Structure 1
Amino acid sequence: MLIKSPLKSQLKSQIKYWWLAIRPRTLLASMGPILLGTALATREVDINKGIFFSALVCAMSLQIAVNLANDLFDSLSGVDNEQRVGPVRVVQAGLISLSAIKLGLALTCTVAMLSGLYLVVEGGWWILALGVLSFLGVFTYSAGPFPLASNALGEVTVLIFFGWVAVLGSYYLQTGSLSLLAFGLATSAGLYSSAIMLVNNIRDIATDQAVKKYTLAVILGEHKARMLLAMLITAALIIHAIFAIQVSFILWLTTILLVAPSYYVIKKGFTLQGSALNSLLANVAQVGFLYCFSVALSVMIFL
């Protein structure tokens, strides 16, 4: 009978803990908009694969950095505690030390910075400005004198960075220009991402209230927050339909594809409670990615 070495067992545990810390399900929210913006650019130019992969690495690295920073700062501030109903936060649970999470955050930011520098060389000063704002967003989201997440700005921040910045930025990097269509579809992608954040905040209303974290869900109250969730997802579909029909009937048809999964998450948004909302959070992320992927595929095949 083979006996597993303590070192091997410890290594497996650490990998598992870091996997929890980076929250891989949330990476769909950073991947989808880059795919969408790049696909839209194929209508104008041949894609620069180096820019595409660098943008993807940069976006995913920034997403992981936000997750690590949120885990770190929410634990230090006491926002995360034993009453938390969301996924395990590794610092608060004592699974990863403060020094280790800080090192992981620094390394992730370094990867984002290196991939971002290539994008700056290709895209110029506008991309540098977006990069600086993105790094500021990583640390001001849950830390500093005015943390965005604690002042009802989480959903707006997500719309800006996971909608307009990600889609329009990746489109601009390929084409050197912007378009009204890219702006419209970026808005829809951002609204789906905002819905992810809102589900997260609806789940945490009770614990956030206890520590005076004033998210939009806390301010609105549970019923109105759930109504807003339905409105965000519905608005994403309507905005997509308005912009898509002006370009192509085929692109408009993706609206039909998204009605059923969107209705599913809206319905669950009115019924699920407590920790059951963790599964809804993943479902909304999947629908948001489905939106970006299906539109990107339609553009590349038919337009």
Structure 2
Amino acid sequence: MKVNSFLKLVEIQTKIASVIPFLLGTIYAVYRFKSFNVINFIFMFVSLITFDMATTAINNYYDYKRAVKKHGYNYEMHNGIVKYNLTETSVKITIFALLLCATSFGIMLFLNTNIIVLIIGIISFAVGIFYSFGPVPISRMPLGEIFSGIFMGFVIVFLSVFIQVDDKILNLIYHNGFLTLNMNLKEIIYIFLISIPTINCISNVMLANNICDIDDDLVNKRYTLPIYLGKEKSLLIFKIAYYVVYIDIILLIILGIVPVFSIITLLTFSIINKNIKLFNEKQTKCVLQ
């Protein structure tokens, strides 16, 4: 498989959706806890990016296998398997290699940290795979936005903080037959609050994509959230989700969870608001680019 076809298969441009929460959590750990473990950083980054590539490749493979409508909406350009005439065998080998790499580095991360990383990793891997795989994949249900937002927007941030600070926020202890979970509730709430921008923005990327694809998804039997809610309600949720991000940023600054200079991010509101209005007027993917 050539490099350009591989990059299209894994949609390399979308990996920023994983990298931003990862970097956010890492920066927060350095800022709040003055802690940075470069080995854990590398292990998680490699596991995260290769697993994200694998799940995207799985998603494209099953979209290719299940597609009913294959013409009329640039299907030949959107799906790398069709665009580059990739064989199913080469795609399967690529997916297996990526999963093997992600699992290997995930195990090394667990061995360098503790059991909590393993538990969160297993759950995250399961959600990622069943997002596209199985008789009723998550991506074909009205749950895609929720799962992608929580697992990519919050779990990645939480785990990237946890691998830097270890038991300062959460630990699991087994002693004399008792299993005890101890958590620093205040710090976990803080991590959730700093994750709201990534949770909402990642959910909105999927929501916008699904709003644009309502007609084609109906034909291809993908019953996403906009199909259940309708376009008008979906667009309202899309707008509110972005507004909540700015309210959250103000709250983070007031509580002193993030530095005061974070207020500069509020300057982006006019740009975002303009794009929201454009998307409300016309729901096409080219508007989002």
Give the TM-score, by structure 1 length: 0.81
Change (3 A) 1:120 1:36: same
- Separation in 1 of the partners of 2:136 and 2:73? 22
Offset at 1:80? 6.2
Distance in 2 (CA, whole Å) between partners of 1:220 and 1:213 is 14
Gaps of 5+ in 2: 170-186
CA distance in structure 2 between the partners assigned to 1:278 and 1:63 by the alignment = 24
Contact kept? 1:79, 1:211, Cα under 8 Å: yes
Q: What is the deviation of 1:143? A: 2.1
Q: Which residue of 2 aligns with 1:165?
A: 155
How far 1:124 sits from its partner (Å)?
1.4
Question: Please, what TM-score do these two structures have when normalized by structure 2?
Answer: 0.85
Whose strand proportion is higher, 1 or 2? 2
**What is the deviation of 1:123?**
2.7
Q: RMSD of the alignment, in Å?
A: 2.0
Shift of 1:84: 3.7
State whether structure 2 residue 231 is matched by structure 1 residue 242.
Answer: no
Deviation readout 1:99-157 (Å, 9 max, x if unpaired): 11111111111121122112211331111112112221232112212211111111001
1:132-281 pair list within 5 angstroms: 132-176=122-166, 177-178=168-169, 179=187, 180-247=189-256, 248=258, 250-274=260-284, 277-278=285-286, 280=288
Q: Does 1:39 align with 2:39?
A: no
Q: Is the 8 A contact 1:22 1:67 kept in 2?
A: yes
- CA shift digits 1:175-223 (9 cap, x unpaired): 1233222111112211111111111111211110112211011112222
Bigger shift: residues 27-36 or 143-152: 143-152
Tell me if 1:105 matches 2:95.
Answer: yes
Q: Which runs of 5+ in 1 are unaligned?
A: 1-10, 283-303
Superposed displacement of residue 160, structure 1: 1.4
Percent identity over paired residues: 24
- What SS class does the counterpart of residue 78 from structure 2 fall into? coil
Q: Deviations over 1:75-102 (max 9, x none)?
A: 1122662244465212344621111111
Please give the alpha-carbon distance, in whole angstroms, between the structure 1 residues aligned to 2:158 and 2:68: 33
Q: By how many angstroms is 1:278 displaced?
A: 4.3
The question of whether the paired residues in 2 share the 8 Å contact of 1:85 and 1:204 is answered with no
- The aligned residue for residue 59 of structure 1 is 48
Q: Which moved more, 1:242-251 or 1:22-31?
A: 242-251
Q: How many pairs were matched up?
A: 267
- Distance in 1 between residues matched to 2:193 and 2:207, nearest whole Å: 21
C-alpha distance in 2 between matches for 1:54 and 1:219: 40
C-alpha distance after superposition, 1:15-68 (max 9, x if no partner): 322221111221110000111101111121331111112222222112111110
